[in-house]
């Protein structure tokens, strides 16, 4: 089987099955060797046949000698790349010489007739169309010469019969033409196959490179994407580490891109993003490398040569970003928020550094600033808020919250007339969480509506029970500013009033003064509806947001709660006392009841009494306490008060 191996290649080659346009040196060497394997035994057999045939011993000997010499040399030369062409020519030279020898010595009319006609095929196969045709032409001329003129020049030459010369010449021409035509069509086929293969390869290469681009590049701006950024940053960190440099990573978020894209359409928004990317890259120049990591987020890596994280350079760059862009004749204003983290101060690897820059961006966004540097404490706070959000969600549904009540004292009579409901949360994992911490979380996460409904249900229920027990009190409930914007609030509240069968007049709804800063229509409508239902409305923390009393005239307010900070400063500060006094007087002029909260001493109580304040609340009377403790306290307070009064 192994012996036959060289021959399979020959068969395929002759049949045109090996479609190769240009043979490489590596392919030509076995070609030559295969030919030697075929030609040498054939030539020796032919030589032997000639030798044994009476009258032809000389051609036999010549063929044998030239075969061994020339084919041997060709075999040897095929081992050297530079000599390949010469080796091929030697093969052809052997075939040419053997043909001429046979022609001159009459072999062509004998056994040589079988082999002579193979020459054009061999020449074309080895040398290709052009050189093969040239060799074939030489061969034709040589053969014609040896048959026609040989005998008149060389005395030993064979004299051919005219008829034979005619037939043999026709056969020589015929086989040459066949060989040329065959080789031509074969090379055409090879050419076609080669072209289509090349085309396919080019297409595949193009496709693969486009896939690679898509995997590593942002399609709109052509900037590296997040995946590629990780690579780049990894390399930059390694470089910085080696040279002792600092890296700053800025995470840039474009504000309101979604709304803008919605307004100007997807094509224009792509154009806008491209403009913004171009501005940013041009502003930063070679000092930074940009990537687009999300639809409206970019990252810039700045290299710095000193250890100190001097932000001034970045701030200068950032402030230099143009914010006004012209898209299809629209002037579009795009603001941005930037967070910065640095290597090595904040992180030692690309992934963490990017995360911290993004975190810093959130911190800036949260604080309503244009730029923030990463701060670990703030991240911890963020994480706690995240955790609390999840826990609050669970607690709210599992009933882990409770309401405490703090008494409201009528300053004229000294009687307990109401209670403020204050939410309490003791988390099994995080421990007690103050309302100051969890209410903003509820507000931001959308849990506030469910939370407020729970508070109302709880407080309405408690009020109904106290009333049934003969405890005549009103209950104050804190309403978040978000709730007053809720379209469904009125329906919900109306439903609860019916369910617990309590008069709305026994409920005070406290709204912090800050929520009046910018009162939208829904809030005004809701307040009006609440007032119509009979609820009393109170402004909590009054004095902290500097609202003028006269501007509150139309809001159907019943009560003002002076912020506890005034109680604290009143003891020492004459100015605070003056503010409290004028607030009380002004409120009374507007028919509003005044509550002072944070009353911690008898002295403060006396001062408030002197100023004509209506109601007081504070640690001086009681701390917020669970409902059952509160009702006991309220009863004993009333008994004690009566005892004091009657004494």
Please identify, among the stretches 193-201, 276-284, 349-357, 416-424, the one whose residues bind ligand C2E according to the rule CB under 6 A.
416-424
CB of 327 within 8 A of CB of 272?
Answer: yes
Q: Quick one: angle between helices 448-469 and 435-445, nearest 10?
A: 130
CA–CA distance, 337 with 318 (Å, rounded to integer): 10
Number of residues forming the site for ligand C2E (CB under 6 A): 23
Considering only residues 510, 513, 559, 605, which one is a binding residue for Ca ion as defined by CB under 5 A? 510
Given the complex with ligand C2E, which of 120 and 624 has the nearer CB atom? 624
State the binding string over 448-487 for ligand C2E (x if CB under 6 A, else -): -------x----------------------xxx-------
CB of 36 within 8 A of CB of 71?
Answer: yes
The answer to whether 478 contacts Ca ion (rule: CB under 5 A) is yes
Given the complex with ligand C2E, which of 64 and 484 has the nearer CB atom? 484
How crowded is the C-beta side of 461, counted as CA atoms within 13 Å? Answer: 9
CA–CA distance, 88 with 74 (Å, rounded to integer): 7
CA–CA distance, 145 with 230 (Å, rounded to integer): 78
Structure tokens at 175: 């086989």
The answer to whether 400 contacts ligand C2E (rule: CB under 6 A) is no
The answer to whether 600 contacts ligand C2E (rule: CB under 6 A) is yes
Please identify, among the stretches 134-142, 212-220, 234-242, 470-478, the one whose residues bind Ca ion according to the rule CB under 5 A.
470-478
CB of 40 within 8 A of CB of 61?
Answer: no
Given the complex with ligand C2E, which of 297 and 614 has the nearer CB atom? 614
State the binding string over 539-568 for Ca ion (x if CB under 5 A, else -): -xx---------------------------
Q: Quick one: what does residue 486 bind among ligand C2E, Ca ion, none, with the CB cut-off 5 to 8 Å set by partner type?
A: none
Q: How far is the CB of 522 from Ca ion (least distance, A)?
A: 22
Q: How far is the CB of 617 from ligand C2E (least distance, A)?
A: 6
Given the complex with ligand C2E, which of 419 and 592 has the nearer CB atom? 419
Q: Is 346 helix (H, G, I), strand (E, B) or coil?
A: coil
Considering only residues 248, 289, 411, 422, which one is a binding residue for ligand C2E as defined by CB under 6 A? 422
Q: Which residues pair with 538 in a beta bridge?
A: 510, 559
With 0-12 / 13-18 / 19 or more C-beta atoms within 10 angstroms meaning exposed / middle / buried, residue 348 is exposed
DSSP 286: G
Looking at the chain, the number of H-run helices and the number of E-run strands are: 23, 17
The answer to whether 565 contacts ligand C2E (rule: CB under 6 A) is no
Q: Quick one: what does residue 423 bind among ligand C2E, Ca ion, none, with the CB cut-off 5 to 8 Å set by partner type?
A: ligand C2E
Given the complex with ligand C2E, which of 142 and 562 has the nearer CB atom? 562
CA–CA distance, 582 with 449 (Å, rounded to integer): 36
Structure tokens at 173: 């021409």
The answer to whether 317 contacts Ca ion (rule: CB under 5 A) is no
End-to-end CA distance of the chain: 130
Q: How far is the CB of 254 from Ca ion (least distance, A)?
A: 39
The answer to whether 540 contacts ligand C2E (rule: CB under 6 A) is yes
> Which own/partner contact pairs does 638-646 have at CB distance under 8 Å and 24+ positions apart?
638/415, 638/416, 641/413, 641/414, 641/415, 644/414, 645/414
Contacting residues toward ligand C2E, per CB under 6 A:
406, 421-423, 434-436, 439, 455, 478-480, 540-541, 564, 597-600, 617-619, 624
């Amino acid at each position: 089987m192994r012996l036959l191996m060289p021959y399979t290649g020959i068969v395929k080659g002759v049949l045109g099955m090996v479609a190769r346009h240009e043979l490489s040196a590596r392919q030509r060497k076995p070609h030559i060797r295969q030919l030697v394997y075929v030609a040498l035994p054939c030539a020796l057999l032919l030589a032997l046949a000639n030798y044994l045939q009476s009258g032809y011993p000389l051609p036999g000997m010549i063929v044998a000698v030239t075969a061994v010499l020339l084919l041997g040399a060709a075999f040897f030369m095929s081992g050297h790349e530079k000599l390949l062409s010469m080796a091929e020519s030697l093969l052809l030279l052997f075939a040419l010489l053997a043909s001429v020898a046979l022609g001159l010595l009459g072999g062509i009319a004998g056994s040589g007739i079988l082999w002579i006609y193979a020459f054009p095929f061999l020449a074309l196969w080895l040398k290709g169309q052009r050189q093969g045709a040239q060799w074939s032409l030489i061969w034709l001329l040589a053969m014609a010469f040896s048959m026609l003129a040989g005998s008149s020049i060389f005395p030993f030459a064979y004299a051919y019969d005219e008829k034979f010369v005619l037939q043999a010449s026709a056969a020589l021409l015929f086989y040459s033409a066949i060989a040329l035509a065959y080789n031509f069509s074969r090379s055409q086929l090879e050419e076609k196959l080669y072209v289509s293969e090349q085309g396919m390869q080019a297409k595949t290469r193009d496709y693969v490179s486009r896939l690679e681009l898509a995997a590593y590049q942002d399609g709109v701006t052509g900037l590296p994407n997040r995946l590629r950024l990780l690579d780049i940053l990894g390399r930059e960190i390694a470089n910085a580490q080696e040279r002792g440099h600092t890296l700053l990573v800025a995470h840039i978020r474009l504000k309101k891109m979604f709304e803008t894209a919605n307004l100007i359409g997807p094509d224009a928004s792509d154009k806008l993003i491209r403009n913004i990317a171009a501005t940013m890259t041009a502003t930063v120049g070679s000092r930074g490398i940009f990537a687009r990591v999300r639809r409206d987020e970019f990252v810039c890596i700045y290299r710095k040569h000193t250890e100190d994280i001097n932000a001034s350079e970045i701030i200068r760059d950032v402030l230099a970003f143009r914010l006004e862009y012209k898209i299809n004749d629209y002037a579009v204003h795009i603001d941005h928020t930037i967070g910065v983290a640095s290597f090595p101060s904040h992180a030692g690897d690309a992934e963490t550094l990017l995360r911290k820059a993004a975190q810093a961006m959130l911190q800036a966004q949260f604080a309503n600033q244009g730029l923030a540097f990463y701060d670990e404490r703030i991240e911890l706070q963020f994480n706690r808020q995240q955790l609390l959000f999840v826990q609050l969600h669970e607690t709210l549904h599992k009933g882990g919250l409770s309401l405490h009540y703090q008494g409201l004292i009528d300053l004229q009579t000294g009687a307990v007339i109401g209670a403020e409901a204050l939410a309490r949360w003791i988390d099994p994992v995080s421990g007690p969480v103050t309302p100051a911490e969890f209410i903003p979380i509820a507000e931001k996460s959308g849990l506030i509506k469910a939370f407020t409904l729970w508070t109302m249900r709880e407080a309405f229920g408690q009020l109904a029970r106290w009333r049934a027990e003969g405890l005549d009190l009103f209950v104050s409930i804190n309403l978040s500013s978000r709730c007053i914007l809720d379209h469904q609030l009125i329906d919900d509240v109306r439903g609860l009033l019916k369910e617990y069968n309590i008069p709305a007049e026994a409920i005070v709804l406290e709204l912090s003064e800050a929520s009046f800063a910018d009162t939208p229509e829904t809030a005004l409508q809701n307040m009006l509806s609440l007032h119509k239902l009979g609820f009393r409305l109170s402004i909590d923390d009054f004095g902290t947001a500097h609202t003028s009393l006269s501007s509150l005239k139309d809001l159907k307010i019943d009560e003002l709660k002076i912020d506890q900070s005034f109680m604290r400063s009143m003891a020492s500060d004459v100015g605070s006392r003056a503010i409290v006094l004028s607030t009380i007087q002004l409120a009374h002029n507007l028919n509003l009841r005044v509550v002072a909260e944070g009353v911690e001493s008898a002295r403060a109580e006396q001062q408030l009494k002197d100023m004509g304040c209506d109601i007081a609340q504070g640690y001086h009377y009681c701390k917020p306490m669970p409902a059952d403790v509160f009702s006991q306290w309220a009863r004993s307070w009333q008994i004690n008060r009566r005892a004091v009064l009657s004494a």
